[in-house]
Amino acid sequence: MTDQRQVISAATTVVVKVGSSSLTLPGGGIDVRRVDELVDVLSEVVADGKRVVLVSSGAIATGFPAMGMTHRPRTVAGKQAAASVGQGILLAHYTSRFASHGLRVGQVLLTVNDLVRPTSYRNAWSTLDTLLELGVVPIVNENDTVATGEIKFGDNDRLAALVAELVRAQALVLLSDVDALYTAHPDSPDARRLDVVEDIDALEIDTHKAGSGVGTGGMTTKLEAARMATSAGVPVVLASASDARGVLGGAAVGTYFRPMATRRSRRLLWLADAATPQGQIVIDEGAVEALTTRHSSLLAVGVTRVHGDFQAGDPVTILAPDGRLVGRGIAQFSHDEVRVMRGRSSAWLAAEMGPAASREIIHRDAMVLSRRRTTKK
């Protein structure tokens, strides 16, 4: 095994995400054989003393045939109804198969709201940590039965990356119906397989082609999940579900994504990946330069416009004059205060409004700058 793959096999806490296409039949409905094979592998890992969190898709794909539907529903209500049926079927099978190995499972259904607020974020961490300490295998899924467009993760790949951050996992394994990351769709004659990705932002690949008909994700969402996890210092492997045993055992299968050397604090991870901005602060080009090249804090003098209704301590989006995203940060003042302070020097603010007003609008330690997106769509 390479040192990189030894990191995966040596991880004491592992988050494993499996997609709908790896759990269900082509036309929908649970694929018992494939689910059982996955559970058997994960049970072996738990028997070795590891903590495993399973992020499982497949509720909608499992549920719609059970409701007499011939195709995956397209309406929100139809999807939520299918998910409510499918979640029960999936959990029942997971419970039974894990029980055959002497293991218990616990279902954890999450929405974005559970991870965007500090209090519920801590509660989610506490629940998952307690389950793991008790030897229970948490089975996590987005709560499709209630989630709407405003409160959806978008795909379980992103949810898996957030869960990996949440539980401080040492590895994230993304299991799919493809065996690795390719420079183009695997069907393309010029597609080249990538064994290791050192820097996701340096990739030049084509991810536009859609995946299977039963899932919602694609390679774009998997790369976004890998970007999130590696930013948190978590190594990632993307591989076929049929290679699960090899991945978790340290075999050189799939694509390995090297983690960043510096791991962000939990607060900055929340800000970058989970928090919902409550407003926007537009800054001038001088401030953009100061933030991006000198890693400075944002001062009032560089602020030109303020949008939204936010309070001190809320996350906000930082925008350049032309509207491009600069980053996110935790505001130290409310929207009303920033509107009064914008364009003013620290000296003027201290003299006219008191010493407290001369503080940074956003401190550099409470700021995450945008990273360049290089995948093509």
Task: Tell me, letter by letter, the H, E, C secondary structure of the chain.
Answer: CCHHHHHHHHCCEEEEEECHHHCECCCCCECHHHHHHHHHHHHHHHHCCCEEEEEECCHHHHHHHHCCCCCCCCCHHHHHHHHHHHHHHHHHHHHHHHHCCCCCEEEEEECCHHHHCHHHHHHHHHHHHHHHHCCCEEEEEECCCCCCHHHCCCCHHHHHHHHHHHCCCCEEEEEECCCCEECCCCCCCCCCEECEECCHHHCCCECCCCCCCCCCCCHHHHHHHHHHHHHCCCCEEEEEHHHHHHHHCCCCCCEEECCCCCCCCHHHHHHHHHCCCCEEEEECHHHHHHHHHCCCCECHHHEEEEEECCCCCCEEEEECCCCCEEEEEECCCCHHHHHHHCCCCHHHHHHHHCHHHHCCCECHHHEEECCCCCCEC
Mean confidence (pLDDT) of the chain:
86
pLDDT band at 217 (very low <50, low <70, confident <90, very high): very low
Task: Give the residue ranges of the annotated binding site.
Answer: 17, 57, 144, 156, 176-177, 216-222
Question: Is residue 298's pLDDT more than 50?
Answer: yes
Q: How confident is the model at residue 153, as a pLDDT?
A: 55
The average pLDDT across 220-240 equals 90
Domains of the chain, each with CATH number or no CATH: 3-255 (3.40.1160.10), 277-367 (2.30.130.10)
Instruction: Work out the burial of residue 179: count CB atoms within 10 Å of its CB; fewer than 13 is exposed, 13-18 middle, 19 or more buried.
Output: middle
Residue 122's pLDDT is what? 82
- Residues in binding site for ATP: 17, 176-177, 216-222
Per-residue pLDDT at 2: 54
Q: What is the pLDDT of residue 85?
A: 92
**Confidence band of 27 (pLDDT split at 50, 70, 90):** confident
Indicate whether 260 pLDDT > 60: yes
| Coil, strand or helix at 309 | coil
- Note the pLDDT tens digit of each residue in 187-206: 888 889 999 999 887 887 76
**Tokens 């409701």 — which residue?**
67
Feature table: binding site for substrate: 57, 144, 156
pLDDT above 80 (res 261): no
Instruction: Tell me what pLDDT residue 76 has.
Output: 82
pLDDT of residue 6: 87
Q: Which of 155, 137, 128 is nearest to 60 (CA)?
A: 155
Q: What count of other Cβ atoms lies within 10 Å of the Cβ of residue 64?
A: 26
Higher pLDDT, 43 or 81: 43
**pTM over cut 0.85:** no
List C-alpha distances in Å: 39 to 34, 46, 155. 9, 10, 22
Look up tokens 């989630």; give the residue: 147
Q: How high is the pLDDT of residue 219?
A: 83
What would the mean pLDDT of 114-137 be, rounded to a whole number? 86
The predicted pLDDT at position 370 comes to 83
* Cβ neighbours around 96 below 10 Å, total: 12
Report the pLDDT value the prediction gives residue 377, as an integer from 0 to 100. 37
